[in-house]
Amino acid sequence: MGRLVLEPASTVNRQRRVTLKPGLALIDAYLDVSHEARLNRYQLYDENGAASLWFTDRGRPITVRGRDNLRKHNELSIQVLPDWRWGDVEIHLDDKRRTAWVECTGEGTIQFPGYPWGHYRNSFVHRFEFGDGLIVSTREYTNPLEHMRALRIATPQIRRDWIPEA
């Protein structure tokens, strides 16, 4: 599996996209945090594409399927995470260019309905699956407790004083 480190997409020269391999160009476009790019992110997916938030407080993934629902999700994401940005992006692309893993940080203002506004920062791992030049599916893995803390939701603690720490 190859490794590539990209600058945050919002600072990357857009001309570079034409020289990127197909999967990398899709990832670069996915990570673009400009308003228009976020609104149109659903177009990077095939008609039946799916985006999943894999670790949740529900104990099961939340999945958005189909371009229409992905478009609606993009619009809502801009409302609740209006100034989102990615950083420390590392891309791991498989040799067949059908799957990629992206490690990064993300942060910005969080404005979920029913919760006080806050600042949300987390580490992310994204899994991309590609087919016919489009994204077939994405999975986002992140720590739901950090999400809860940003919303000022009390988080439980597990006693681990039995683990030796340096």
* pLDDT tens track for 87-144: 999 999 988 879 999 999 999 999 999 999 999 999 999 999 999 999 999 999 999 9
Instruction: Name the pLDDT band for 23 (thresholds 50, 70, 90).
Output: confident
What structural domains and CATH numbers belong to the chain?
2-150 (3.10.450.50)
> DSSP per residue over 84-146, as a string?
-EEEEEEEEE-TTSSEEEEEEEEEEEE--TTS--EEEEEEEEEEEEEETTEEEEEEEEE-HHH
* pLDDT tens track for 45-77: 999 999 999 999 999 999 999 999 999 999 999
User: Average pLDDT for residues 22-33, to the nearest whole number?
Assistant: 92
The pTM for the full model equals 0.84
CA atoms within 13 A on the CB side of 126: 24
**In 3D, which of 106, 138, 6, 49 has the Cα closest to residue 17?**
6
- The answer on pLDDT for 18 being more than 70 is no
> What local confidence, expressed as pLDDT, does residue 96 receive?
80
